[in-house]
């Protein structure tokens, strides 16, 4: 009798930057359980989400395509996914899988699941904290038990909302990484946050009134990661108690990273900087993925779908995916590495760029609300924090990278048979009127509002 296909548990964490996980070298022990998961499988050290933010990132993760293939670059993507695409849920459904999606109802990228479950991942409870991960577990664990009893394998996709803002981890995680006075009158590191009109109302709705210390808010982000880590372990314990460890592919990753106060991005995930682009990826599948393997080659979010399908024994060769099956990386087989790649963003700014091992070019397609220059160039080797814009000092490098980027755009447009969506989605901000004509116009127009408004924007209902 043929062996049943493996189950798939895909844990995708919203707004999780790689460098704040202890498994990736962070100085705080934020993720002891994910650290252990990494010792049981393969950890990818340089995994990138090239198209920011959530909607475009998940479109790529769940279809195996880049933005040219998905036509999705904007958070406020209008309409659904094109019918030229097959999502992972749709493909697995045709292969006999039971498919369930938790926490992603209404987003275009979630098309094709047989069952959708939601949970509260935004608003605080009576304690002033939001137990997002426990809310997720409360609906996920019964569903995992139901799926385990069926005669078919399952694909369970979790859209985890810790540590997405608002950062409100419950006790004891809110103080796990902070021992100071958040209301110290001598500190003023949050002045810029409170003074930035597009975001100030949102941040004031969850940062404690009178808080002056950005280190406290940073610690809430780390606390949310620690809380997430402990809660995910509860799911893995349930998987083990059901006797499914050996028969389940577990993938832990993120849609994109997060800026804290870097680059004036104010506790959000916009800006094509490393803190937003680089995310974790850990894959465990006993007997197929070797334990404790760390892989340093660059991988992309579009690689997630073909890798999972490859491990599950599902052929995708006829789909002409942009992403690659990463199995040769841990099998020691020949594998063509990625050295440079295209970047897009249409969250609160419409930009694109080109990244090589040494350089990053960021080119604004219209004025942004941070009043940043049109062109930014960073030497990632000498300036890994991207603090020194060298565009005016290195015009030859800018020209070379621009030429490479434009050549790639032309290639991909021809291959996809469609225009680059970052050029065609002119109402990416959702306010009509086409591109912004000035940074002041962008600053005056864009506004998150409170937690409820942010939730509606993300949910796309």
Q: Please check whether residues 308 and 348 belong to one and the same domain.
A: no
Under 8 Å between Cβ of 10 and 301: no
In this prediction, residue 106 has a pLDDT band, given cuts at 50, 70 and 90, of: confident
Which residues pair with residue 378 across a beta bridge? 360
Residue 228 has pLDDT above 90, yes or no: yes
Range of the domain at 279: 7-338
How many residues would you count in the chain?
461
pLDDT of 358 > 60? The answer is yes
- Same domain for 392 and 265: no
The band of 249, judged by pLDDT with boundaries at 50, 70 and 90, is very high
Taking alpha carbons only, the member of 179, 79, 48 closest to residue 421 is: 79
Beta carbons within 8 Å of 408's beta carbon, 6+ residues apart: 342, 354
Mean pLDDT of 129-142: 95
Residues 328 and 418 occupy one common structural domain: no
What average pLDDT does range 247-262 have in this prediction? 96
Q: What is the mean pLDDT of residues 185-203?
A: 94
Q: Which tokens in the block code for residue 365?
A: 């397609």
| Predicted local confidence at residue 461, as pLDDT | 46
Q: Place 157 in a pLDDT band, splitting at 50, 70 and 90.
A: very high
Are the C-beta atoms of 378 and 389 separated by less than 8 Å?
yes
DSSP state of 383: -
Boundary (domain end) residue, out of 338, 371, 392: 338
31 and 100 fall within a common domain: yes
8 A C-beta contact, residue 49 and residue 301:
yes
Share of the chain above pLDDT 70, in %: 97
Query: Could you give the CA distance from residue 57 to residue 13 in angstroms, rounded to a whole number?
Result: 12
pLDDT of 96 strictly over 60: yes
Hey, what are 161's tokens? 């909302």
Band the pLDDT of 120: cuts 50, 70, 90: confident
- By the 10 Å C-beta count (0-12 exposed, 13-18 middle, 19+ buried), 312 is classed as buried
| Residue 182 binned pLDDT confidence (cut-offs 50, 70, 90) | very high
Q: Is residue 305 part of a domain?
A: yes
What are the tokens at 109?
């990228």
Largest CA distance in the chain: 71
Residue at which a domain ends, from 338, 361, 391: 338
pLDDT tens digits, residue range 295-345? Answer: 999 999 999 999 999 999 998 877 889 999 999 999 988 888 899 999 999
Q: Classify residue 379 by burial, with Cβ atoms within 10 Å: 0-12, 13-18, 19+.
A: middle
Q: Computed over its alpha carbons, how large is the radius of gyration of the chain? A: 21
Phi, psi of 379 (to 5 degrees): -90, 105
C-beta of residue 267 within 8 angstroms of C-beta of residue 203: yes
Residue with tokens 């958070």: 75
Same domain, 90 and 180: yes
| Residues 277 and 350 reside in one and the same domain | no
Is 278 found in the same domain as 372? no
Closest by CA to 347, choosing from 88, 106, 49, 20, is 49
The dihedrals phi and psi of 43, each to the nearest 5 degrees, come to -110, 130
Closest CA to 67 of 425, 420, 312, 398: 420
Task: Assess whether pLDDT exceeds 50 at residue 1.
Answer: no
Chain centroid, CA 382 distance in Å: 26
Residue 268 falls inside a structural domain: yes
Please, what's the b/e burial string for 76-101 (b: 16 or more CB within 10 A of its CB; e: otherwise)? Answer: bbeeebeeebbbbbbbbbebebbbbb
* Residue 134 φ then ψ, to 5°: -70, -35
The 3-state DSSP class for residue 223 equals: helix
- Identify the helix (H) or strand (E) that includes residue 343: strand 341-346
Shortest CA distance to 324 belongs to which of 342, 306, 301? Answer: 306
**CATH code of 156's domain:** 3.40.720.10
Do 241 and 362 fall into the same domain? no
Peptide bond into 172 cis (omega under 30): yes
The pTM of this model reads 0.95
Residue 433 confidence (pLDDT): 85
Candidate from 72-81, 90-99, 215-224, 406-415 with smallest mean pLDDT:
72-81
Higher pLDDT, 16 or 453: 16
Mean per-residue pLDDT, 44-66 = 96
Contact 273, 376 (CB under 8 A): no
**Confidence at residue 452, expressed as pLDDT on a 0 to 100 scale:** 63
Question: Could you tell me which residues are beta bridge partners of residue 11?
Answer: 158, 252
Is the separation of the CB atoms in 25 and 19 below 8 Å? yes
Count the Cβ atoms, other than its own, within 10 Å of residue 168: 26
Q: Which residue has the tokens 């991207």?
A: 386
Looking at the structure, tell me whether residues 324 and 452 fall in a common domain. Answer: no
**Cβ 85 vs Cβ 323: under 8 Å:** no
Burial of 435 (0-12, 13-18, 19+ CB in 10 A): middle
**Domains of the chain: total:** 2
Among 283, 315, 338, identify where a domain stops.
338
pLDDT value at 395 more than 50? yes
Q: Are residues 346 and 332 part of one domain?
A: no
| Other beta carbons within 10 Å of 114 | 14
Question: What phi and psi values does residue 361 have, to the nearest 5 degrees?
Answer: -105, 130
Helix axes 214-241, 132-148, angle to 10 degrees: 20
Structural domain includes residue 1 = no
- Asked if residue 2 belongs to a domain, the reply is no
User: What DSSP state is assigned to residue 284?
Assistant: E
- Confidence band (pLDDT; 50, 70, 90) for 422? very high
pLDDT band at 456 (very low <50, low <70, confident <90, very high): low
111 or 334, which is more confident: 111
Same domain for 420 and 309, yes or no, is: no
**CA-based nearest residue to 381, from 413, 352, 356:** 356
Q: Are residue 292 and residue 346 in the same domain, yes or no?
A: no
What is the pLDDT of the chain when averaged over all its residues?
94
pLDDT at 108: 87
**Rounded mean pLDDT, 80-96:** 94
pLDDT band at 458 (very low <50, low <70, confident <90, very high): low
What pLDDT is stored for residue 79 in this prediction? 83
Strands (E) located in 96-229: 98-102, 115-117, 154-160
pLDDT attached to residue 454: 59
Q: Domain with 369 in it: what CATH number?
A: 3.30.1120.10
pLDDT value of position 101:
97
Q: What are phi and psi of 9, to 5 degrees?
A: -115, 105
Per-residue model confidence as pLDDT tens digits over 158-180:
999 999 999 999 999 999 999 99
């Amino acid at each position: 009798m043929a062996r049943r296909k493996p189950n798939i548990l895909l844990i995708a964490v919203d707004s999780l930057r790689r460098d704040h996980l202890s498994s990736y070298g962070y100085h705080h022990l934020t993720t002891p359980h994910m650290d252990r998961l990494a010792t049981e499988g393969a950890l990818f050290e340089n995994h990138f989400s090239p198209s920011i933010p959530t909607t475009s990132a998940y479109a790529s993760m769940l279809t195996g395509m880049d933005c040219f293939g998905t036509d999705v670059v904007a958070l406020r993507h209008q309409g659904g996914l094109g019918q030229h695409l097959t999502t992972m849920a749709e493909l697995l459904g045709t292969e006999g899988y039971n498919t369930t999606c938790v926490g992603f109802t209404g987003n275009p990228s979630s098309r094709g699941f047989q069952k959708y479950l939601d949970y509260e991942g935004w608003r605080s409870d009576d304690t002033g904290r939001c137990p997002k991960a426990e809310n997720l577990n409360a609906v996920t664990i019964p569903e995992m038990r139901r799926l385990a009893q069926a005669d078919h394998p399952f694909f369970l996709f979790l859209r985890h909302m810790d540590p997405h803002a608002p950062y409100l981890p419950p006790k004891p995680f809110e103080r796990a990484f902070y021992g100071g006075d958040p209301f110290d009158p001598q500190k003023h590191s949050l002045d810029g946050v409170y003074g930035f009109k597009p975001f100030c109302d949102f941040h004031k709705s969850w940062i404690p009134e009178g808080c002056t210390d950005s280190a406290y808010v940073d610690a809430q982000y780390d606390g949310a990661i620690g809380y997430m880590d402990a809660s995910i372990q509860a799911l893995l314990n349930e998987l083990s108690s059901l006797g499914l460890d050996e028969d389940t592919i577990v993938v832990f990753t993120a849609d994109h990273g997060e800026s804290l106060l870097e680059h004036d991005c104010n506790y959000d995930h916009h800006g094509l900087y490393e803190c937003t682009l680089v995310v974790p990826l850990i894959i465990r599948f006993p007997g197929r993925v070797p334990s404790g393997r760390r892989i340093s080659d660059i991988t992309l979010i579009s690689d997630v779908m073909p890798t999972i399908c490859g491990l599950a024994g599902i052929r995708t060769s006829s789909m002409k995916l942009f992403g690659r099956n990463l199995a040769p990386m841990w099998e020691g087989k020949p594998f063509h590495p990625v050295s440079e790649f295209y970047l897009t963003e249409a969250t609160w700014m419409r930009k694109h760029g080109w990244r090589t091992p040494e350089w990053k070019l960021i080119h604004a397609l219209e004025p942004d609300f941070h009043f940043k220059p049109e062109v930014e160039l960073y030497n990632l080797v000498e300036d890994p924090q991207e603090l020194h814009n060298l565009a005016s000092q290195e015009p030859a490098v800018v020209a070379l990278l621009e030429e490479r980027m434009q050549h790639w755009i032309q290639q991909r447009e021809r291959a996809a048979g469609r225009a680059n969506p970052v050029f065609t989605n002119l109402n990416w901000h959702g306010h009509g009127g086409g591109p912004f004509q000035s940074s002041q116009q962008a600053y005056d127009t864009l506004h998150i509002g409170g937690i409820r408004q942010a939730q509606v924007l993300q949910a796309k209902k």
